[in-house]
Amino acid sequence: MFLFEDETFLRQFPPLRAAWAPRGEQARVPITGQNAKRVLFGALNPLTGHRVVLQRPSLRQEDFQAFLRLLRAHYPGRPLFLLLDKAGCHTAARTLQLTARLDIHLLWLPKQWSELNAMDHLWRGLKQHVASNRQYPTVDAQAQDAEDWVLDLSPRQALRKAGVLSRRFWLRSFL
């Protein structure tokens, strides 16, 4: 089983994007002055469009290892191949030991080439549609909305937003 894996940070302070406002007026984005963050771990199957998402408070090796265990539970009994970047939590010695025990094989993307990761494209759509220009009452509410957005996409919508259906998708001939 081949999967793209990536993480994204959600901060209670909203990312600002282009927004409509009357001519000559600046768009207003009310905020509470409080900030918090959550991390969403996500994986995308480029053949089926199936997604797995996990909310965590941080991006530590323990958090990534929890996601690896979740992936193994979703895809039991067969080897998993994850295409991902070399974030510290991905390359930690204990993480690599766990991947060997779980029969998960990590395939590294080149540095600074996040556009090759289809899951990264889903996160961009998420930030545009869920997180931008508004602040949620709590970061947990925002994280839940974000997870729901990713999982509520149809498989075809997810593959389209991730760029997998493009004629120029870099792994098209492999899939």
* pLDDT tens digits along 27-43: 665 555 566 689 999 99
CA angle 136, 140, 144 (to 5 degrees): 90
User: Would you say residue 83 lies in a domain?
Assistant: yes
Residue at 40 is within a domain: yes
In a domain, 80, yes or no: yes
Residue 73 included in any domain: yes
Which of these, 170, 143, 118, lies nearest to 5 by C-alpha position?
A: 118
Q: What is the pLDDT of residue 47?
A: 96
What's the whole-model pTM score?
Answer: 0.85
72 belongs to a structural domain:
yes
Residue with tokens 């010695």: 93
Q: Angle of helix 118-126 relative to helix 139-152, nearest 10 degrees?
A: 120
pLDDT of residue 172: 86
**Boundaries of domain holding 69:** 2-18+28-161
Return the pLDDT at 23.
75
Q: What is the CATH number of the domain that holds 124?
A: 3.30.420.10
Which pLDDT belongs to residue 139?
A: 86
pLDDT at residue 54, as a whole number: 98
- Number of compact structural domains in the chain: 1
Average pLDDT per block of 10 residues along the chain, 175 residues long: 95 58 63 73 98 97 98 96 96 98 96 89 86 76 94 97 93 83
